[in-house]
Structure 1
Amino acid sequence: MTDGPLIVQSDKTVLLEIAHPDASAARSALAPFAELERSPEHIHTYRITPLALWNAGAAGHDAEQVVDALVRWSRFPVPQALLVDVVDTMARYGRLILRTDPAHGLVLVTTDRAVLEEILHNRKVTPMLGARIDPDTVQIHPSERGRLKQILLKVGWPAEDEAGYVDGEAHPIKLDTANWQLRGYQSDAVEGFWAGGSGVVVLPCGAGKTLVGAAAMAKAQATTLILVTNTVAGRQWRRELLARTSLTEEEIGEYSGERKEIRPVTIATYQMMTRRKAGEYTNLDLFDSRDWGLVIYDEVHLLPAPVFRMTADLQSRRRLGLTATLVREDGREGDVFSLIGPKRFDSPWKDIESQGWIAPAECIEVRVTPTENERLQYATAEPEERYKLAATVRTKLPVVQAVLARHPGEPALVIGAYLDQLDELGEALGAPVIQGSTKNAERERLYDAFRSGEIPTLVVSKVANFSIDLPEASVAVQVSGTFGSRQEEAQRLGRLLRPKADGKQAHFYSVVTRDTVDTDYAAHRQRFLAEQGYAYRIIDADELLGPPVGGNDPLENDPS
């Protein structure tokens, strides 16, 4: 027995003691192959899942490294059965391999004949298979490459895709590095992606995922389709590409609700891809409009189902997914793995922070007590109405005002999900509101005014969750969200993580109504950030609303 911070249990749960001096090192060792499930104050619970193990294997970690990490940091002997299961599970990845055969085209090859026999007798798989070439090889129609990988993942035999990629239509793209250089982790991310040919790069918000995309484009030297969350994000990509690469304005097209330009580099929104006309996804034809050499999926964790389906047919194209977190609340992380590709690079947020590339952040949960009338409304409401009632209590308004008063002159975002609540906050704070109906030109004007310091506070809906570059923001106050969405929590903190010119840390507040589902959802939302090493301090709104007395300000860091 050692004095390690982990307790590894036979049901594949791992307990991490947060107060242990080696907790941070153990968390970093766990992150590649375990998923955080619960994160109360003292003990965090992780689970080792097959998908996490396969992602770790695809990213270059082997079973020996995983076993060593568990044994090294565990306080008690690790159950032998669990270690055997880790080795066996990781060995499942790559026993089936997709390759290109000069004589037979796309083939599925096995290193374990019994596995191939099992697959040949699976009713869901057999319609996708062609002729048996030899005892270890079966022919596959190229159109089934993506769907076959999806099914094989679900039956527990994830295939390694070595079938290669078409180069696509060539187009010269160079990085213009006269005034900047790729950071070390960005170069590692590009190399990890390129070595695998397709897959996902996971980096924290503010760490330069767009530059990773630009460098991948320069590697590919080919026409590129970039899919983004909204038009404002697309125009940010355009500005970055014009500033960082040899591309000119004539070479970059925008495919959105406002423009329909298809050029060697085309930036399209997911909304356009999923827009229906007479029941058909007519804009999905954009995927076939050119011989793309690279498809980039920005914020890949948000990929809509129709784009997943179309991507199943794009397996001969190089595909790069970019995201701050692979968490999907619909559980479709497996589709990202099989259709975009496995995780090729992942860097813990705190590692990037320690290098000075993102700002340190303090996370505070402020708990408010609803009025008696609000409590009665909540208690008698239907279950589906309760979160909105809890999240929009009027007692949150003075708390938001008090938080902003503690940070005079600091650029601040007030973030929520319910428009009536946001309008009320905007009026009370004298701040403009940006929501889904705000025109793109007006959004960009307000963002520019915020960046320049002309507007000190913006009230924003979930349209500002993703791909919005507001490096000046140093305070965010979250009043409501998309229920318990972990990726939304990560994206909202990410709005603050650009390094500050004065070197100061960022402040991220969640205002939560106690004794309601608002508190439950907040705990769920915080799980991903807890996995990255961020701890939430919980304070009472009454402490915050009272004036600080003799150094007893609840927002001051605890010196202990």
Structure 2
Amino acid sequence: MTVLSIFEMVVQQDLTVLVHDSSSRYTEIRPKLQRFATLIKHPAGIHTFKMTPLTLWNAAAAGMCAKDITDTLEQYASWPIPTRAKQEIALWMGRYGLFILVGEDNAEALRLNCSDQNLLTRFIHDSEIGTLFSGTLGACAVSVPAKFRGRIKKELARIGYPVIDQVGYQDGEPLVFALAAAVEDDAAFQLRDYQQEAVTAFTGGVDKLGGDGVIVLPCGAGKTVVGIGTMAQLQSETLILTSNTTSVKQWKREILEKTTLADNKVGEYTGQSKEVRPITIATYQMMTYRHAENEEFVHMRLFHERNWGLIIYDEVHLLPAPVFRTTADLQATRRLGLTATLVREDGCEQDVFSLIGPKRYELPWRQLEEAGWIAKVSCAELLVPMSAPLNERYIRAESREKARLAGENIDKLRVIKELLARHNELPTLIIGQYLDQLRLIAAGIQAPLLTGSTPQEERQRLYQQFRNGEIHVLVVSKVANFAVDLPDATIAIQVSGSYGSRQEEAQRLGRLLRPKSDGRRAYFYTLVSEHSKEQEYAMKRQLFLIEQGYQYDIVKEEQLHEYGTAACADS
């Protein structure tokens, strides 16, 4: 028996934590680790979690201390925790709370308090950070111009010192409305318990003292409802930013259905319509549009068009850099981020933390599944061989071309047809990265194709037909990754993706998570070319979902008949 086969959990001095996923206590260990660490790899049944300054700061913002974390690690560790690891945990957790930003009577200035006088003195004389201060206010405090509220938080977080912002927020222009009342025999609309918990975690409850941070919930769990509940509690005009026009319309429909707001109070700010109303919903694309690279962003003024009391950043993991920069100047406005995953492929999670706020609420996906709030999903990675001619081209290709050749493997069409036959007439999405591949698949299975160039009216028609059961299969490009309302999707077949994008994997699985009316299970298939870089990318893509408790069955094509028969019988 090897050493690796006998341990349950090992904490290493570089703040990585190795856990055997076959441990009898793994399901108990994983959610506790997720409070302060993130999964970074999972080879051979050994899951590697990593504690970082950001994961530890988010834990501190949730009320944990260094002792809480070391106690948890000691409870499960097979061997003593290295002293250096304990010191690192204490170091990073200890930095949360060193700097506290508070308001002053003078609205133009803020007060930055620091409990470490020597540290503050060093920053006062720093050539960059020091320029953000306007004077000392005693041994352990400096004055900061109010206009630098966001910038000081971002810069200090960048060098390893998070700031707790206690300045408070403006209320914005009042907007009186309520959640929808009962209609005839129907009950009044109510938030689920966890949705109300999320609202309270953000707003601070009845006192409404809170006002920044991120709510993390899977697709299908009602992030839009959390946003609406927050709006209803704050009772102020709100700007909502989201990922695409389809999502804008979805937000408006949900707001009108679930609140007493009239249609003329809710505006769409898109390429087709630019309505600025008490509730205004815009896209990130609109906010970052400009005529030329060196010109101003045409629509960024929307942030200042009205006295917003709340800004909601839907799909906050997609927030583009120009919106980050503007958000740095909007720290007096309450800011709510909504996302299924805090993972950003550009590594800007720290900017979300400093400018939008820390993670305020998260509920594990499996916990929601067990409660019946999201659908049960089985995940499988199906290995598809490459033909001899394709394999020869693959071997000779450059790295990026290898990814495309493996992704577009024509033999995936054969597997798609078998899966469709086994899940006959169940609502199915076929999702991919490459348009030529998707056109070939759509033609091969006689299904409609939806891409970024599909007109909005045609998209809505296809979505409605899909919901009504008039069509059972949609072939979709990356436009279906985010905020598309497909409540009845039961099967997703992923034929290609954006290399190792964890957020894309989470969003695509999210297309299946709305509970099915008959309680049936959903299936998420990823088609991967065998013996190719696509397998490596797939392993990276799956990280977030494995962290959430999902397991991927690895199935070779010759095993597909047996696996597919079992899956079909179960569904």
For 1:231, the equivalent position in structure 2 comes to 245
Q: What is the TM-score when the length of structure 2 is the normalising length?
A: 0.94
Is contact 1:111-1:136 (8 Å) kept?
yes
Q: What is the TM-score when the length of structure 1 is the normalising length?
A: 0.96
Distance in 2 of aligned mates of 1:41 and 1:553: 27
The answer as to 2:507 corresponding to 1:507 is no
Letter in 2 for 1:12: L
Three-state SS of the structure 2 residue aligned to 1:509 is strand
Matches within 5 A, 1:154-553: 154-176=158-180, 178=182, 179-195=188-204, 196-278=210-292, 279-544=295-560, 547-548=561-562, 553=565
Question: Which residue among 99, 102, 106 is the counterpart of 2:105?
Answer: 102
Cα shift readout 1:467-514 (whole Å, capped 9, x = no counterpart): 112111010000011111000000000000101111111100000011
Cα shift readout 1:451-472 (whole Å, capped 9, x = no counterpart): 1101100001111111112111
For 1:15, the equivalent position in structure 2 comes to 18
Distance in 1 of aligned mates of 2:63 and 2:522: 34
For 2:185, the equivalent position in structure 1 comes to none
Q: Which moves more between the two structures, 120-129 or 316-325?
A: 120-129
Q: Percent identity of the aligned residues?
A: 49
Instruction: List gaps (5 residues or longer) in structure 1.
Output: none
Task: Call closer, same or farther: CA 1:119–1:177 in 2, change over 3 Å.
Answer: farther
Deviation at 1:360, TM superposition (A): 1.1
For 1:143, the equivalent position in structure 2 comes to 147
Distance in 2 of aligned mates of 1:52 and 1:478: 30
Distance in 2 of aligned mates of 1:487 and 1:417: 14
Letter in 1 for 2:521: Q
Is contact 1:173-1:217 (8 Å) kept?
no
Three-state SS of the structure 2 residue aligned to 1:254 is strand
For 1:39, the equivalent position in structure 2 comes to 42
Question: Which residue among 73, 82, 87 is the counterpart of 1:84?
Answer: 87
Distance in 1 of aligned mates of 2:139 and 2:180: 51
Count of residues in correspondence between the two structures? 552
For 2:207, the equivalent position in structure 1 comes to none
Deviation at 1:74, TM superposition (A): 1.3
Is contact 2:382-2:528 (8 Å) kept?
yes
Deviation at 1:555, TM superposition (A): 4.6
Deviation at 1:176, TM superposition (A): 1.9
The answer as to 2:123 corresponding to 1:119 is yes
Distance in 1 of aligned mates of 2:7 and 2:24: 9
Cα shift readout 1:219-247 (whole Å, capped 9, x = no counterpart): 21111000010011110000110111111
Is contact 1:411-1:472 (8 Å) kept?
yes
Task: Call closer, same or farther: CA 1:172–1:416 in 2, change over 3 Å.
Answer: same
- What's the RMSD between the two structures over aligned residues? 1.6
Is contact 1:96-1:116 (8 Å) kept?
no
Three-state SS of the structure 2 residue aligned to 1:307 is helix
Letter in 1 for 2:178: K
Distance in 2 of aligned mates of 1:441 and 1:69: 53
Deviation at 1:280, TM superposition (A): 2.0
Three-state SS of the structure 2 residue aligned to 1:144 is helix
Deviation at 1:347, TM superposition (A): 1.0
Is contact 1:113-1:135 (8 Å) kept?
yes
Cα shift readout 1:299-353 (whole Å, capped 9, x = no counterpart): 0000011111111111110000000000001100000001111111111111111
